[in-house]
Structure formats: C-alpha cells, structure tokens
C-alpha cells in the first residue's frame, strides 16, 4: 500500500520516521512517498486534503476532523516545549499589543498559544518558522514567536525572551502543551491505521535504541545545525507522549480544541 506521507525536516520528525521510511525496520504493507515541508505548508496541504498521512499543528486540528483521524504516536506534546516570544530589545508584556509580531504560520499551535496569551495583539506577519529570528534582527517585526531549534539559538544572536508561551499555557490550563500530531485520512481501513501506529512506535523505539547516533537522513535535513543542537531538539520534543498520550495527553488535546473554539467563536 503506497502512502503519501508528510512531515517536517526538523530533527524530531526525521528521528521519529527515519527507521520506518528508510527500511531500517520492516514497514509492513506500507510504501511511503515522502514530502518534507515546513509545518505551515503541511497544515495548508492537510486543509486541502493533499496527503494520505501528515504531521500537522494541533492548532489546525479542529478544522481537519471531518477528513482525517488523529494517530496517537509520532507527535510532539510535553512540558517545557512551548514556543517563545522573543525581541531584539527587552520589552514589557504590557506593550505587546502595539508591536509588530512575527508568527510561524497562521494555522500553527504557536499562533494559537500567542493568541491565547495576547488576544489584543493584531499586527501579525506570518512567516516560515526559520525566518522569524532574522525578521526580528532586521527590524521587519518588533518581536517574533519561535519554535523548534530556534529556542536553542536565539540568545546566541543577542535576542531576548519576552515570555515562554508554553509556560503561560501550562500555568493557566494545567496540562501539557500539544504542539503537533500525525493524522491519516479517515477512509484508511481501521486495521491499517492501527498497524501504522504500531510501525511508528517501532520506528521511534529503534531510533532511541541507537541514540545518540544520528543517521545521515536526520542530519542532512537539519538545516546545518550542530549535532548538539539536533540532540537537544530530539530530547525535548521526542518523549513518552510521542509513543502514548495517556490521560494527560488526551486532556491536553481536548483542552486545545476547546481553546481553539473559544478563540474562534463567532
């Protein structure tokens, strides 16, 4: 069975799927046609139904429930994993509503978390996630929401953390942060969907068994980041929730859906 599969080139996603898509484990009946794209592109493709299976931001999940089902493994949830709001110069959170803010995609969880924390901030520029730091440094925007490996590099560039949006979520809603998940078309047979879940779990376990070694597949898509940053990235975003949600993970996803509906009411 051939499946079109999308995920990001970030180390957490390539680490998770490497063994499955590159024959390091038995893929079972699946053959994968890969699409590695930034998460906002994947969100937009999911909205148009382009791929059979794909990584998405949980921030777009409420718009996809009619055509996709959410798989349990392969995603990114956790504590201390949220996006950061950064600026070139220190700024007070009281002044955020008057600033130009760079956001890594309209449908991202980062946008949802920023909107939850700063509902009055409307002057937003939507950029690809790896463009945010440079946009802040150049003055294109006054502040920006960063995700992925940028949380490990912004301070080295002289940028300042304004607020950890994940901490805001955790302190107010008392549950882990659901960042991104894996979805498959609803018309996939239940048996095959469950088998794909088990294959993703097997792929994750294989990757951890061989860690800290990182394959060429992981490294070649990592935008030339240092190995130490790749490992920090993986250790933060690939955790127990990447295998099984548990009750805390399910609560977090449900809470995010409720928050999305509250922010988009009317």
CB-side exposure of 55: number of CA atoms within 13 Å? 30
56 in a known ligand binding site: yes
Q: Is 130 a catalytic residue?
A: no
55 in a known ligand binding site: yes
Q: How far apart are CA 39 and CA 138, in angstroms?
A: 24
Q: How far apart are CA 225 and CA 149, in angstroms?
A: 8
Q: How far apart are CA 10 and CA 234, in angstroms?
A: 9
Q: Where are the alpha helices (DSSP H) in the chain?
A: 11-21, 39-47, 109-117, 132-138, 165-173, 190-210, 216-220, 227-237, 246-263
215 in a known ligand binding site: no
Residue 102 neighbours by CB distance under 10 Å: 25
250 in a known ligand binding site: no
Kindly report the backbone phi and psi dihedral angles of residue 6, in degrees, each rounded to the nearest multiple of 5, phi listed first. -120, 135
Q: How far apart are CA 158 and CA 101, in angstroms?
A: 18
Do the beta carbons of residue 33 and residue 4 sit within 8 Å?
A: yes
228 in a known ligand binding site: no
Q: Which one of 148, 160, 194, 261 is the catalytic residue? A: 148
- Residue ranges for the known binding site for substrate are 55-57, 109-110
Catalytic residues: 148
């Amino acid at each position: 069975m051939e499946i079109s599969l999308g995920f990001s080139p970030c180390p957490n996603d390539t680490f998770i799927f490497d063994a499955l898509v590159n024959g390091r484990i038995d893929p079972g009946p699946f053959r994968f046609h890969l699409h590695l794209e930034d998460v906002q592109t994947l969100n937009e493709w999911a909205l148009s139904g382009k791929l059979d299976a794909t990584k998405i931001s949980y921030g777009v999940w409420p718009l996809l429930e009619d055509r996709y089902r959410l798989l349990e493994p392969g995603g990114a949830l956790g504590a201390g994993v949220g996006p950061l709001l950064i600026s070139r110069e220190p700024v007070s959170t009281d002044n955020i509503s008057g600033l130009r803010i760079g956001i890594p995609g309209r449908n991202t969880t980062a946008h949802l978390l920023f909107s939850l924390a700063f509902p009055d901030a409307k002057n937003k520029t939507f950029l690809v996630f790896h463009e945010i730091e440079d946009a802040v440094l150049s003055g294109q925007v006054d502040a920006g929401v960063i995700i992925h490996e940028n949380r490990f590099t912004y301070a080295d560039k002289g940028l300042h953390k304004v607020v950890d949006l994940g901490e805001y979520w955790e302190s107010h809603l008392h549950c882990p942060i659901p960042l991104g998940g894996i979805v498959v078309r609803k018309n996939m047979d239940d048996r095959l969907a469950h088998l794909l879940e088990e294959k993703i779990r097997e792929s994750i376990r294989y990757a951890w068994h061989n860690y800290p070694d990182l394959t060429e597949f992981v490294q070649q898509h990592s935008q030339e980041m240092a190995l130490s940053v790749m490992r920090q990235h993986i250790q933060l975003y690939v955790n127990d929730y990447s295998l099984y949600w548990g009750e805390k993970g399910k609560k977090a996803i449900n809470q995010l859906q409720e928050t999305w509906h509250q922010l988009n009411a009317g």
